[in-house]
């Protein structure tokens, strides 16, 4: 089956017929129809057309926000477990459509089919998490210093939440945000990446069916297709108390400034320059497998992709030999094909940045050990396929300190104690994910101590990518400081409120103040 035939089949399975119902491809799937220019989505596998999508106008945007505001008035009154029931039903629909959705993610983004299935599974998992959360949403009881008074803390829904998602996880990150926000009583407006709008449309279409079956008010979940102009409108809109944005640090800084200028809240999940430390006490088999998956998986297009390996001089030669051998056998090709481990980059611009970064690092003194080329011939001429690169370099190189969203792995050596490796890791401006491979409990505990890794995620004997939804996901420094998904990340979608109840007949003041 050709890629074009795969596209046609999966769209048909998901009930998306571009020829019979072209009006379906508008900037909005609820609310008024967009009438402006269109956005065209092609698969990075071979450039085949997936679909054209109408982009929302300023009028469309205003209608969506007004509808969301109106929906919030009634949605916040639904008991949280009832809101959780809607999420539960959506999770079931995702299970029924997992294979088709996973394939569409692969077709539109270019990640391996198994990774596409994994992304849909993340959506299912966060639905399950949110359903349980809908029966918790706990507050606190606080001891009052005044007699016959009760003090407590509770959480109330914020209102409209704007979600700006990135191309590399075109659906899962939206689910992380929207499913939690929904059970918290918020309504959501989703602006997906311009590079992956069809995956968003497919997920939203399934969700609309669940909402209709349950008489959920229109506007609880909205999807708006557009470019940077729509993102700017969301960021600047005082009617939207929270903006959750995933993408580059450059984009995140722009969003942060706009949201902060109106004293709104922002949840930012931005770049990463993630490192794995390999000590002489490491299990080299485990380390090699984790590094290869972390660096080459998703063609290096995860925010948690392994960018740097900080390895002790005593085991550097062995690790390089293992890695170069593994890289030599990495099959690069269509992510739909069995046996392929590396698919294409998202577009030609990403491939150019890949080559430019390697050239720049070599000029700084880096040594290209393997890979690093744009591939050509056959399928390779139809997409942005590259051979994953390993470059021996120094941590101080400017290129090493920058995030290149491509499969480039920098090998950096250290000497002496593991503290020296940790210092090198923490020199990065980013603070998303980190890992150490060691069988020494002293080294692992040092890595996890207050003077260890400064990242939001710090793993021992496991790679930098592949986070579970049960833990809060996010990082520090130029990664933005946001937290999504599990743990108590739900609190960011709510406003905290302290309540004091006086059930006496007196009016004592705090701190013993007496105005009598």
DSSP, collapsed to helix, strand or coil, labels residue 231 as: helix
Return d(Cα 489, Cα 491) in angstroms, integer. 5
Axis crossing angle, helix 80-96 with helix 197-213, rounded to the nearest 10: 130
Contact (CB, 8 A) for 209 and 216: no
155 in Cβ contact with 496 (< 8 Å): yes
Which residues have C-beta within 8 Å of that of residue 137, sequence separation ≥ 6? 80, 155, 183, 184, 490, 494
Q: How far apart are CA 395 and CA 412, in angstroms?
A: 6
According to DSSP, the residues that pair with 332 across neighbouring strands are: 342
* Contact status, residue 379 vs residue 47, Cβ threshold 8 Å: no
Say whether 303 is catalytic. yes
The token pair at 177 is 């945000």
Helix axes 197-213, 98-109, angle to 10 degrees: 150
Q: Is 269 a catalytic residue?
A: yes
Helices (H) and strands (E) in the chain, counts: 15, 21
Cα–Cα distance for residue pair 372/354, rounded to 1 Å: 8
CA 447 to the chain's CA centroid = 25
Helices of type H across 298-343: 313-328
Measured CA to CA, the distance from residue 435 to residue 444 in angstroms comes to 9
Q: Are 72 and 159 in contact (CB under 8 A)?
A: yes
- Give the active site residue among 194, 269, 392, 443: 269
The residue written with tokens 């918290």 in the block is 184
- Residues 368/357, Cβ–Cβ less than 8 Å: no
- Find all residues with CB under 8 Å of 387, minimum gap 6, and list them: 327, 332, 370, 371, 372, 373, 375
Residues 303, 361, 443, 455: which is the catalytic one? 303
DSSP 480-492: -S--EESTTGGGG
Element (H, E) at 50: strand 49-54
Which residue numbers are catalytic? 269, 303
């Amino acid at each position: 089956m050709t890629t074009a035939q795969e596209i046609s089949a999966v769209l048909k399975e998901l009930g998306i017929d571009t020829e019979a119902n072209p009006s379906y491809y508008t900037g909005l799937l609820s609310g008024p129809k967009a009438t402006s220019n269109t956005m065209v989505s092609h698969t990075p596998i071979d450039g085949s057309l997936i679909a054209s999508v109408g982009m929302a106008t300023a009028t469309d945007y205003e209608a969506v926000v007004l509808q969301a505001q109106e929906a919030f008035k009634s949605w916040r009154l639904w008991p949280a477990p009832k809101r959780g029931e809607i999420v539960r039903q959506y999770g079931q629909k995702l299970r029924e459509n997992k294979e088709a959705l996973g394939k569409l993610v692969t077709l539109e983004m270019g990640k391996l089919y198994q990774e596409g299935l994994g992304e849909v599974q993340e959506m299912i998992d966060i639905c399950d998490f949110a359903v349980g959360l809908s029966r918790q949403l706990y507050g606190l009881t606080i001891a009052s210093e005044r007699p016959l008074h009760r003090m407590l803390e509770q959480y109330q829904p914020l209102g409209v939440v704007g979600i700006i998602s990135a191309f590399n996880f075109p659906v899962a990150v939206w689910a992380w945000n929207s499913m939690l926000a929904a059970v918290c009583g918020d309504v959501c407006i989703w602006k997906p990446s311009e590079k992956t709008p069809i995956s968003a449309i497919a997920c939203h279409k399934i969700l609309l069916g669940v909402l209709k079956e349950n008489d959920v008010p229109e506007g609880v979940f909205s999807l708006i297709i557009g470019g940077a102009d729509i993102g700017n409108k969301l960021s600047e809109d005082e009617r939207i108390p929270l903006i959750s944005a995933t993408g580059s640090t450059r984009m995140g800084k722009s969003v942060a400034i706009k949201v902060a200028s109106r004293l709104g809240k922002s949840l930012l999940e931005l770049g990463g320059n993630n490192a794995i430390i390999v000590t002489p006490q490491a299990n080299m088999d485990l380390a090699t497998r984790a590094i290869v998956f972390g660096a080459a998986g998703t063609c290096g297009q995860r925010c948690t992709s392994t960018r740097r390996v900080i390895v002790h001089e005593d085991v550097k030669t062995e690790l390089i030999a293992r890695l170069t051998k593994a890289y030599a056998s990495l099959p690069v090709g269509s992510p739909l094909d069995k046996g392929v481990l590396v698919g294409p980059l998202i577009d030609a611009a990403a491939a150019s940045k890949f080559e430019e970064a390697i050239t720049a690092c070599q000029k700084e003194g880096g040594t290209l050990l393997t890979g690093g080329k744009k591939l050509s011939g056959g399928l390779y001429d139809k997409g942005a396929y590259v051979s994953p690169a390993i470059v021996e370099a120094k941590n101080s190189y400017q290129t090493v300190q920058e995030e290149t969203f491509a499969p480039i792995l920098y090998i950096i050596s250290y000497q002496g104690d593991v503290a020296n490796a940790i210092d090198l890791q923490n020199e990065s401006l980013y603070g998303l994910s980190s890992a150490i491979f060691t069988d020494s409990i002293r080294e692992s505990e040092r890595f996890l101590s207050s003077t260890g890794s400064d990242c939001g995620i710090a793993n021992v004997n496991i790679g930098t990518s592949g986070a579970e939804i049960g833990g809060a996901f996010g990082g520090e420094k130029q990664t933005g400081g946001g937290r999504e998904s599990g743990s108590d990340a739900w609190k960011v979608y709510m406003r905290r409120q302290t309540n004091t109840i006086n059930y006496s007949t007196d009016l004592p003041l705090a701190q013993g103040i007496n105005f009598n």
